[in-house]
Structure 1
Amino acid sequence: MKSLGSIRRNFAPWIDPAASPFLRFEGVTKRFGDFEAVDDLSLSIFESEFFALLGASGCGKSTLLRMLAGFDMPTSGRIILDGEDMSGIPPYRRPVNMMFQSYALFPHMSVAKNIAFGLKQEKMGKGEIADRVEQVLKLVKLEDYAKRKPDQLSGGQRQRVALARSLAKRPKVLLLDEPLGALDKKLREETQFELADLQYELHTTFIMVTHDQEEAMTLADRIAVMDKGRILQVAPPAEIYEAPNSRFVADFVGNVNVFDGTVRAATGDRVTIETTGGFDIVAERDVPVEAGQNVSYVLRPEKLKIAAEPISGPNVMEGEVWDIAYFGPVTSFHIRLDTGAIVKVAMVNATRQSPLQLTWHDRAFVTFDEDAGLVLTQ
């Protein structure tokens, strides 16, 4: 199998048939009246894994997290954590802790007292509490902020206090519900790497809920893409992006061009697709398909090449520059084909001055390699 990109670390117990999952959801369903939030879902997560539940609002990801935390009970099915069935175990007795998007810090308490609050509730000794607070403050690099109140901290610092408080009880699993959603874009990007490094250092199992695709791709060892209470695909980030198993996953994770059509010919390792747009695509035959079969061909914008002059060869499309967006490292082109279809092309700005002189309404030619995209049957 071709490499699908680098991985964040050398950690992949899910490919080891002898590895035992640390957490299992077994046929879990959750209904709220007539609404089925989670539908007969089964999932395995491994110890020390950073796992992301990714999906749009209402897909069931937060409900799954709340059932693990014990705030909601499954309508049917079981949740097994470290060999123990969580059925009937109240939230305060589960070896998990949840960090909420709002952080929920006590405004009248210092940073140190916020972190110590849960430890006091467990009636831990004063000396042990002080040691534990000192340890987690050092871990999140806030040793000099112990006496400050939350309103004296930046958003990123409050986020780290909430994280320290969640980690102070040393849970077996840390649950993160949109953990970076309250931060601005630049700070969120910086904090993502800090959070990934911290999880790697602690070897604690992290399970994160997010609708932010970039956040999931940056942080997680594996991602579960969810829709309507079901898991559509579970895989490492590179596989989710480069080898989605369905049109929905391809369209949900990142930008993508989708060309619907019918297989005209399928011979050897090549397939020819007659698209509804009136042009043919010649592609690698990644999945079993037959002539006459309806398929979709998905193609990421960065896999295409664009030129101002005619191009020879297969997989060439011609059209008019409809829109241009400059993002700094990348320029995005929307090319309106003569058939009316819009094709998205992303060009990396590798030099300060672009050698490609294209502007609105210019004629443009777009091409791609036979192995650039993916043929999907669902």
Structure 2
Amino acid sequence: MKSLGSIRRDFAPWSDRDAKPYILFDGVTKQFGEFKAVDDLTLTIYEGEFFALLGASGCGKSTLLRMLAGFEAPSRGNIVIDGEDLAGTPPYRRPVNMMFQSYALFPHMSVEKNVAFGLRQERMPRDQIAERVDQVLRLVKLENYASRRPDQLSGGQRQRVALARSLAKRPKVLLLDEPLGALDKKLREETQFELADLQHQLGTTFIMVTHDQEEAMTMADRIAVMDQGKIVQVATPEEIYEAPNSRFVADFVGNVNVLEAKVLRAEGGRMSLEAAAGFTIETVNAVDASPGQTVFYALRPEKLRISGEPLTGSNVVAGEVWDIAYFGHVTSFRIKLDSGEIMKVAMINATRVSPLQLTWHDRAWLQFDDDAGLVLTR
């Protein structure tokens, strides 16, 4: 399947003040006894968007999806799709369909009959069913597997059958609950791009629940990071990674070094920080903070340079090589600073033989640019 590449970057209705949300969660709360699975949550999603709900187990993301599908009712608040309040609307009358993690295929039915099942339940004419099934099987590249049963397919093929069955009814919104969780790592990586490209080809609104950061970053137009029933940040993958609004988001999405520090000076868009780890940080990414105030400096491992020779200049700190992990395309170092803190460093292996000859317990120096990290106040 040909990748759509940069086409996705042109899709940004949330930046248009006149754009109307397609899906609205308005002050939604869901309680189970005294426990609030979703807590006074408000969220807008736009038509044609691939939206990801990202968070750890128990954060409320699946409950939110189930309320949209109609499997759970909100304790308070409203859920609206395309201007229609869904209160009291049963699942089978909602313009949504859900693809479950388990795929839930009928083992005794062929691929063709699995895909056609929902259409037959709606008593669609037989010739229209055949045409629709043929369309969606060609869409997911399974037209030559129509007569096979699920146990005769690979994991990736079963995933595509489940997707075809979900799309056959042409829902306005497709809900995906951990859609790639049953696939092995390599197949999951390949399927991420296929699924994202298919969604943009169809223009259907997709809402995906996942705890996998890579899945969300690869496929979604926007991501909502959730914690304890609340949304912590909603933004594009780039913004979530490069401009997290809190330590929680910075730490949850990707690897990061979070250094506690006090503000020394802040003027002209620059800041000087005294890190608790015992060195001075100079940054151009100033925030509204006063001298003496405690802040946190978030620095991604790939933004650091590492050397076995002493480095000079600003934003330099030394330590001892504590751990090394070789991943092929990148080597990960854990450096124990003289203060005892551990700093994570990621070095891209751009050549077959690394010019950096560092091993365990060697002395190492780290350096980063003044625009490499982000100052956080919470």
Q: TM-score, normalised by structure 2?
A: 0.98
Aligned with 1:8: secondary structure? Answer: helix
- Which digits, 9 at most, give the CA deviation of each residue in 1:161-210, with x for residues without a partner? 00000000000000000000000000000001110110011000000000
- Find the aligned partners of 1:18 and 1:305 in 2 and give their Cα distance: 44
Partner of 1:337: 337
In structure 2, stretches of 5+ residues that fail to align are 1-5
- Find the aligned partners of 2:274 and 2:317 in 1 and give their Cα distance: 13
- Find the aligned partners of 2:246 and 2:195 in 1 and give their Cα distance: 30
Counterpart of 2:326, as a letter, is Y
Q: Relative to structure 1, is the Cα distance of residues 270 and 263 closer, same or farther in structure 2, using a 3 angstrom cutoff?
A: same
Partner of 2:231: 231
Pairwise mapping of residues 134-149 of structure 1 onto structure 2 (< 5 A)? Answer: 134-149=134-149
- Find the aligned partners of 2:30 and 2:36 in 1 and give their Cα distance: 6
Question: Aligned-pair distance for 1:334?
Answer: 0.4
Partner of 1:3: none
- Find the aligned partners of 2:205 and 2:117 in 1 and give their Cα distance: 23
In structure 1, stretches of 5+ residues that fail to align are 1-5
Partner of 1:353: 353
CA contact (8 A) 2:274 2:281 kept: yes
- Find the aligned partners of 1:270 and 1:345 in 2 and give their Cα distance: 24
- Which digits, 9 at most, give the CA deviation of each residue in 1:228-278, with x for residues without a partner? 000000000000000000000000000000000111111211111112212
Partner of 1:302: 302
- Find the aligned partners of 1:227 and 1:287 in 2 and give their Cα distance: 24
CA contact (8 A) 1:31 1:37 kept: yes
- Find the aligned partners of 1:267 and 1:93 in 2 and give their Cα distance: 58
- Find the aligned partners of 2:200 and 2:9 in 1 and give their Cα distance: 9
Partner of 1:132: 132
Matched, 1:311 2:311: yes
Question: Aligned-pair distance for 1:286?
Answer: 3.2
CA contact (8 A) 2:271 2:286 kept: no
- Which digits, 9 at most, give the CA deviation of each residue in 1:34-84, with x for residues without a partner? 100000000000000000000000000000000000000000000010000
Q: TM-score, normalised by structure 1?
A: 0.98
Partner of 1:84: 84
Counterpart of 2:185, as a letter, is K
Structure 1 segments (4+ residues) deviating >6 Å: none
- CA RMSD after TM alignment: 0.8
Matched, 1:367 2:361: no
Counterpart of 1:174, as a letter, is L
Partner of 2:261: 261
The total of aligned residue pairs comes to 373
Question: Aligned-pair distance for 1:285?
Answer: 3.5
Counterpart of 1:113, as a letter, is K
Partner of 1:70: 70
Q: Relative to structure 1, is the Cα distance of residues 320 and 7 closer, same or farther in structure 2, using a 3 angstrom cutoff?
A: farther
CA contact (8 A) 1:266 1:285 kept: no
Pairwise mapping of residues 1-378 of structure 1 onto structure 2 (< 5 A)? Answer: 8-378=8-378
- Find the aligned partners of 1:96 and 1:285 in 2 and give their Cα distance: 43
Aligned with 1:26: secondary structure? Answer: strand
Aligned with 2:9: secondary structure? Answer: coil
Question: Aligned-pair distance for 1:9?
Answer: 3.1
